[in-house]
A = this chain, B = another copy of it.
Amino acid sequence: MAQMNMIEAIRSALDIVMEKDPNVVIMGEDVGYFGGVFRCTDGLQRKYGEHRVIDAPIAEGGIIGATIGMGLNGLRPVAEIQFADYIYPGFDQVVSELARIRYRSAGEFFSPVTIRTPCGGGIRGGQTHSQSPEAIFTHISGIRVVMPSNPYDAKGLLISAIESDDPVVFFEPKRIYNGPFDGDPEKPAVSWASHPKGEVPRGYYTVPLGSADVVEEGSELTIITYGTLVHVAQAAAALVGVNAEIIDVRSLSPLDTTTLTESVKKTGRCLIAHEATRFSGFGAELVATVQEECFFHLEAPIERVAGWDTPYPHAFEWQYFPGQKRLAAGIRKVMEAQ
C-alpha cells in the first residue's frame, strides 16, 4: 500500500497497464515530454518511449479519431483530453464512431479507446475549464461513462476501463485531484493522505465497471451522487445530522440500478446531487430511474441539488458550486417533506 493522491493513482494505473500490455499507448496534448498539464502522465514517456506516450496536435477530434484507428489495429489507446470542456470538438467521433463501431459491424470491429478527461470546477477556470458534461455522454449507447471520487477507485476503475473492450469516457474531477473536498470553501484544503481511499495498492487491482459503491450506510435518507460531491454529501449529512446512506455512482453508464434502488427502498427518501448543471443533467436520469423503481417506497419527492443552469462563472465559483449549504438545504427539504 502507498499513499497516493488521485493524480498519482491515475499515473500508477497507467504505468501498470503499460507495463503489463505493450499495446497500451497514450495520446494527448502535452502528455508526453511534459507529462500533462495536470501531471497525470509525468515520467511515462521517459519510461515507455515516445512511441507509446505521444504528444498530439491540438485537435481533440483528431486525437479521438486517430486513437480509434489505433484501437482498430490492435492497440489499446488511452486518449487524454486536456479539459472536459474541450471534448466537444471530438464529440462526433465519440458518438458516431467510437460508440457505434461494434454495433454497426455486428461485433466484427471494435476499438477499446479510453478517453480520460478532467472535469468540474476547482481551479477557478471560469466557464471553459470547469464543465461537467457527463450527462451528454450517458445518453449515447455503446460507451461507458465513469467518474471516480477517490484515488483508490480512480486507479482500479481506470485499469478496468483500459482493459475493457468497450470504449470508456473517464471523467476525473479535478477539484479532488489533490485531496477530498467537503464543499466548504472557507476551510483549508486537506490531502488524500488523511483519507482511507488515499491508501492505494502499488500493484495491479481493478474496481469493476458498472457497480456503484455504498460509501456510508444509513437508514433515513439515500444520497446518490458521484465525483466531488460524494465528499460534500458526507459533510452535508453530518452537518444536518441525518443518518444518510451515501452512494457513489462511479459508473454512470451502464448504471448499477440495483444498488441505488435497494437503498431508496430501504430509506424511503432520496437526494441526488451533482456539480453539472441541473436541467437534463445526469441527476434527471437518476431521479427517473429511482422513482420508476421505488415510487411506492418514497415518502418525499426526490430532490435534486446541482449546478445552476448557467455556465460556470469565474467570479462565482462558490455560488455556482453545490456546496455544503445547498446540499444541507436539500437534505432538510427531503427530510421535512411529508
A residues near B (Cβ < 8 Å) are: 61, 85, 88-89, 91-92, 95-96, 100, 103-104, 127-128, 133, 135-136, 138-139, 141-142, 253, 255, 276-277, 279-285, 287-288, 291-292, 295-296, 298, 300-304, 309-311, 337
Determine the distance from Cα of A138 to Cα of B284 in the docked complex, in whole angstroms: 12
Cross-chain contact A277 with B139 (CB below 8 angstroms): yes
| 24 A-B pairs whose Cβ atoms sit less than 8 Å apart in the complex | A85-B96, A135-B139, A136-B136, A136-B139, A138-B279, A138-B280, A139-B277, A139-B279, A139-B280, A139-B281, A141-B277, A141-B310, A280-B280, A280-B282, A283-B288, A284-B287, A284-B288, A287-B287, A287-B292, A288-B288, A291-B302, A292-B301, A292-B303, A295-B337
The residues of B that contact A298 with a CB separation of less than 8 Å are 295
Q: How far is the CB of A95 from chain B (nearest CB, A)?
A: 5
Determine how many copies of this chain the complex contains.
2
The residues of B that contact A138 with a CB separation of less than 8 Å are 279-280
The residues of B that contact A279 with a CB separation of less than 8 Å are 138-139, 141, 253, 255, 285
Cross-chain contact B100 with A96 (CB below 8 angstroms): no
Q: Considering only CB atoms, which chain B residue lies closest to A92 in the complex?
A: B88
The residues of B that contact A285 with a CB separation of less than 8 Å are 279-280, 284
Q: Which of B89, B135, B292, B302 contacts A280 (CB 8 A)?
A: B135
Cross-chain contact A127 with B139 (CB below 8 angstroms): no
Q: How far is the CB of A94 from chain B (nearest CB, A)?
A: 8
Q: Which of B88, B136, B301 contacts A295 (CB 8 A)?
A: B301
The residues of B that contact A142 with a CB separation of less than 8 Å are 311
Q: How far is the CB of A144 from chain B (nearest CB, A)?
A: 12
Determine the distance from Cα of A61 to Cα of B91 in the docked complex, in whole angstroms: 11
Cross-chain contact B127 with A100 (CB below 8 angstroms): yes
Q: Considering only CB atoms, which chain B residue lies closest to A276 in the complex?
A: B139
Q: Which of B96, B128, B291 contacts A96 (CB 8 A)?
A: B128
Cross-chain contact B103 with A311 (CB below 8 angstroms): yes
Q: Considering only CB atoms, which chain B residue lies closest to A95 in the complex?
A: B88
Cross-chain contact B282 with A141 (CB below 8 angstroms): no
Q: Considering only CB atoms, which chain B residue lies closest to A309 in the complex?
A: B141
Determine the distance from Cα of A92 to Cα of B281 in the docked complex, in whole angstroms: 18
Q: Considering only CB atoms, which chain B residue lies closest to A301 in the complex?
A: B295
Cross-chain contact B311 with A300 (CB below 8 angstroms): no
Greatest chain B CB density within 10 A among A127, A276, A284, A298 is at A284
Q: Considering only CB atoms, which chain B residue lies closest to A310 in the complex?
A: B141
The residues of B that contact A255 with a CB separation of less than 8 Å are 279
Cross-chain contact B284 with A280 (CB below 8 angstroms): yes
Q: Which of B133, B277, B304 contacts A288 (CB 8 A)?
A: B304
Determine the distance from Cα of A85 to Cα of B88 in the docked complex, in whole angstroms: 15
The residues of B that contact A303 with a CB separation of less than 8 Å are 292
Q: How far is the CB of A305 from chain B (nearest CB, A)?
A: 12
The residues of B that contact A100 with a CB separation of less than 8 Å are 127, 311
Determine the distance from Cα of A139 to Cα of B284 in the docked complex, in whole angstroms: 10
Q: Considering only CB atoms, which chain B residue lies closest to A100 in the complex?
A: B311
The residues of B that contact A291 with a CB separation of less than 8 Å are 287, 291, 301-302
Task: Report, nearest first, the 9 A-B pairs whose CB atoms are least far apart.
Answer: A295-B301, A88-B92, A287-B288, A284-B284, A139-B280, A284-B285, A284-B288, A138-B280, A91-B91
